[in-house]
Amino acid sequence: MDEQPRLMHSHGVGMAGHPGLGQHMPDGTEGEGRKQDIGDILQQIMTITDQSLDEAQARKHALNCHRMKPALFNVLCEIKEKTVLSIRGAQEEEPPDPQLMRLDNMLLAEGVSGPEKGGGSAAAAAAAAAAGGAGADNSAEHSDYRAKLSQIRQIYHTELEKYEQACNEFTTHVMNLLREQSRTRPISPKEIERMVGIIHRKFSSIQMQLKQSTCEAVMILRSRFLDARRKRRNFNKQATEILNEYFYSHLSNPYPSEEAKEELAKKCSITVSQVRSLNNKTTTSNSVSNWFGNKRIRYKKNIGKFQEEANMYAARTAVTAASASAQGSQANSPSTPNSAGSAASFNMSNSGDLFMSVQSLNGDSYQGAQVGANIQSQVDTLRHVISQAGGYSDSLAASQIYSPQGINANGGWQDAPTPSSVTSPTEGPGSVHSDTSN
C-alpha cells in the first residue's frame, strides 16, 4: 500500500492545515465550485459499493488521492468524535455472568476444566465416594466413568480451543478490516476496542453454550454412574450357595457377626454397594447384610416355599458333617444325629465349621470366633436331617418339621433355638441345646 492508515489519533481535529476548507470564502463563485466538487466526491463515495471490486479499488485510490480528501476526512473525524462521545456511556463493562461462573465452577469441580487427569480421577473418586462403594468390583465402573469423563474433557478442550482459535482469527480479521477501512473513514481505537469486545462477547456466549452442554453431559454421566448402584446384578450361583449354606446352617440365629459378614463377602466375592449411611464404618459386608435381611424376612414370610431349599441345604451340610465326623470318630454314626451332641465331633465336623474351613482362606481364625455358632449350626443341620428322615410321629411334631426353627410366636428369631426336645422323638441334643441357649 502506498499510504498509511489514517487512524483518528493521528489526525488533528478540525480544519487546520487544510486551506480551502472551513475557511470563510468571500468569493461566492469559488465556493459554488467547491460545493460541486464536494458533491461530486460524495456522489462517488455513495456509488462506490455499486461498482465492481476492481472499479471500486481504482475509485478508492482516486478518492484517496483527491485533493479534498484530507479535509473531508477531518470533517468525518470531527463528527465521529462527537458520536463516540455519545456512545461512550452506553458501553459499560458488565459484571461477570453468574451463570457462567457457576458453569466454570462446576467444570472445575468435576475435573473437566481443571488440571490434567488428576482432576478427573478425583471427581470420579468423589462420585464413587458419594455412591458409597469402594469395592474392587466397582473399579470397572470407576474406570468406565473415568473414561467417559476424560472423553467429555477431551471434547470440551478441543472445542474450547477451536472456539478460541476462531475467536482470535475473527478478531484479527476484523482488525485488519478496520485498519483497511481506516483509510477511507475515521476509526478510533475505542471503536476497535468496542468491536473486539463485541466479538469476544459473542464468542464467549458460544463458549457458554459449550460449557453448558458439557455440564449437562457430566451430570448425565454422573447420574448414570450413581444410579448404577441401584442396578441389581444377581449374585452368582456359588455366592448364593455359600450364603444359603450359612443361612440354613445358622437357621435358629441367622445373624452373622460383622466378621462373618466380611468373611462371607470375601468368599462370595460379593459386590459392595451401600448407600444407607455414608457414616457406615464398613461397606464391605452390606450386600451380605442385605442378603441376610432379605432372606430372613422372605423366609419368615413364606416358610413353606423355602422348606425344600432348607432341607436341601440341611441335608447337604449334614452329609458333609457326617462324612467328616465319620472320618474323625467311628463312634458317631450319621444316622444318629443326637450322638453329634458331643463337643468333640462338633469341633471339626460341624457343618458351619467345615463350611468355613473349606471355603475360607484363613478358616482357622474364623473358627475360633465361631465356636458357639458352630454348635448351633450343628443343631440346625441335625434338625433338618431329622426332619428329612421323617422321624416325627405325632401331628404336632409333624407340623413343626417344616416350621421355622428359631422363629418365635411374634415372628422374630429367638435367641435360643427351638426346643428340639419337644419335637425330637429321640432324647435330643440336650447338651447342645444348653450350649447354645446363650
Partner DNA sequence: AAGAATGATTGCCA
Partner DNA sequence: TGGCAATCATTCTT
Q: Under the rule (CB under 7 A), what is the footprint of DNA?
A: 227, 229-235, 240, 255, 258, 271, 273-277, 279-281, 287, 289-291, 293-294, 296-298, 300, 305, 411-413
Between residues 88 and 276, which has the closer beta carbon with respect to DNA?
Answer: 276
Provide the minimum distance between the beta carbon of 370 and DNA in the complex, in angstroms, as a whole number: 15
Please name the residues in contact with 195: beta carbons below 8 A apart, sequence gap of 6 or more.
174, 178
Between residues 29 and 279, which has the closer beta carbon with respect to DNA?
Answer: 279
Provide the minimum distance between the beta carbon of 234 and DNA in the complex, in angstroms, as a whole number: 5
Provide the minimum distance between the beta carbon of 307 and DNA in the complex, in angstroms, as a whole number: 13
Provide the minimum distance between the beta carbon of 235 and DNA in the complex, in angstroms, as a whole number: 4
Between residues 166 and 297, which has the closer beta carbon with respect to DNA?
Answer: 297
Which residue type occupies 106?
M
Between residues 211 and 250, which has the closer beta carbon with respect to DNA?
Answer: 250
Provide the minimum distance between the beta carbon of 411 and DNA in the complex, in angstroms, as a whole number: 5
Provide the minimum distance between the beta carbon of 297 and DNA in the complex, in angstroms, as a whole number: 5
Between residues 46 and 140, which has the closer beta carbon with respect to DNA?
Answer: 140
Between residues 105 and 257, which has the closer beta carbon with respect to DNA?
Answer: 257
Provide the minimum distance between the beta carbon of 231 and DNA in the complex, in angstroms, as a whole number: 5
Between residues 177 and 278, which has the closer beta carbon with respect to DNA?
Answer: 278
